[in-house]
Amino acid sequence: MTTSAIQFISPLTFQALSGNPVQTQLLDTEQENAMGHINLARWADKIIIAPATANIIAKLAHGIADDLVSTLCLAAECPIYFAPAMNQAMWHKTITQTNIKSLQQQGMQLISPEQGLQACGEIGWGRLSEPATICDYLINHQLTIDKSLSGLKLLITAGPTREPLDPVRYLSNRSSGKMGYALAEAALEAGAIVSLVTGPVNLIAPIGVNLITVETAAEMFDAVISRATSHDIYIGAAAVADYTPIKKQTRKIKKQDQENSVSLQRTKDILATVALLPKRPFVVGFAAETHDLETYALAKLNQKKLDMIAANWVGHEQGGFENDNNALQVFWHTGQKKLPMTDKKQLAKQLIALIVERKK
């Protein structure tokens, strides 16, 4: 416990509840060589800092070791996890986000805070994750962090596109971006350098990604094609519009008594264009289908000359668009694998593992 933590809860309470001794001092006079922090660092399988204040995050980012917690972390060689908790304004400060990114680049694992009412009365991001969520994360996370994508560059698309009809209306779809963002997070965790080209969504991008925001299919096309050849893997998880209005009206379309119609033209296919590039990355497409999933997925795999395609059902209550959960049927030219319904974050890890396996 740090000096600040002791001001909230006494070490005695922690000792009584956990049945374990509580360490607070850097130099432990009860230890033969007073080097308790080194012994603790050697002993631990994992270190979890919860709650991790903006202060301890800043100290760890800069290698400051002026108390037991910061010194222990500097001396440790085991995985370190940190679950931030702080006021929403502190969380959003550029310096805090830079420090968090620095910890992640050093291999420490972020257990993201939640949004909601804070102890200070404000509402926003920065609430400590629920203890059950922290435990789930630790249980599900491998002890040795798999850095199988280390050194590789991934380009991922996520979310919907918006095709403007007039200054106030657009054609779009139900994609929330959750699947694509989960893939970006899983790829980062596996050690990749990740660029995420995203349509308009209400999600916070994983810290550490190179985020490129776009609105229309044409903007997404340009953002992807200008970057694709400098990447090793391309994953098209975005729900890109297949059609866009031929003409965007410059004024709001007024209602009229008779029927109205809009003429649409095809958008350019980003995925198929990436697959045809001379120095192409490993190309993974998605297929969103309401019927004949396998037939359409295999047709897209072959016609678009992909390396792999992840097919999912859409238009159902479970999985697909908007939901937190999804299931995938993944096809490549010599095989297939079903990834059963689970949380999109877990599913993303499984798909990334499969891509690593097939790319070899």
Q: Segment contacting ligand PMT (CB under 6 A): 3-11, 51-59, 88-96, 312-320?
A: 312-320
Find, among 81, 60, 181, the residue nearest to 133 by Cα. 81
| Residue selected from 206, 236, 245, 281 as contacting ligand PMT according to rule CB under 6 A | 236
Give the range of 22-30, 42-50, 113-121, 230-238 binding ligand PMT by CB under 6 A: 230-238
x/- contact string, 254-283, with ligand PMT (CB under 6 A)?
Answer: -------------x-xxx------------
Decide: 173 and 321 in contact? Cβ < 8 Å: yes
Q: Is 237 in the site for ligand PMT (CB under 6 A)?
A: yes
The residue (of 231 and 300) whose beta carbon lies closer to ligand PMT is: 300
Q: How close are the terminal C-alpha atoms of the chain, in Å?
A: 45
Residue 155 in the binding site for ligand PMT (CB under 6 A)? no
Phi/psi of residue 258, each to 5°?
-80, 170
Q: How many CA atoms lie within 13 A of 349 on its CB side?
A: 12
How far CA 314 is from CA of 107, 123, 251, 326, in Å, comes to 36, 34, 34, 10
Contact positions with ligand PMT (CB under 6 A) in 202-221 = 217
Mark residues 171-200: x for contact with ligand PMT by CB under 6 A, - for none: ----xxxxx---------------------
# chain residues binding ligand PMT, by CB under 6 A? 27
Q: Is 73 a catalytic residue?
A: no
Distance CA 113, CA 91 (A): 9
Site string for ligand PMT, 113-152 (x = CB under 6 A): ----------------------------------------
- Residue 244 in the binding site for ligand PMT (CB under 6 A): no
| Segment contacting ligand PMT by CB under 6 A, of 45-53, 64-72, 137-145, 234-242 | 234-242
Q: With the C-alpha atoms ordered 88, 91, 92, 93, is the resulting torsion angle positive or negative? A: positive
Residue 128 near residue 83, CB atoms below 8 Å: yes
Smallest separation, CB 269 to ligand PMT (Å): 4
Binding mask 278-307 for ligand PMT (x = CB under 6 A): -------xxxx-----------x-------
Q: Is there binding between residue 312 and ligand PMT (CB under 6 A)?
A: yes
Instruction: Kindly give the interhelix angle for 68-75 and 36-43, rounded to the nearest 10 degrees.
Output: 50
Catalytic residue among 73, 78, 120, 135: 120
Q: Which of 321, 331, 349, 351 binds ligand PMT (CB under 6 A)?
A: 321
What is the C-alpha separation between 73 and 188, in angstroms, rounded?
22
The Cα angle at residue 351 between residues 136 and 186, in degrees rounded to 5:
50
213 secondary structure, DSSP code: E
> Residue 288 gets which letter from DSSP?
E
With binding defined as CB under 6 A, does residue 314 bind ligand PMT?
A: yes
Amino acid at 257: D
- The amino acid at residue 246 is I
What sign does the dihedral 307-141-346-157 (CA atoms) show?
A: negative
Looking at the annotation, which residues are catalytic? 120
Binding region for ligand PMT (CB under 6 A): 159, 175-179, 217, 236-240, 242, 267, 269-271, 285-288, 300, 312, 314, 320-322
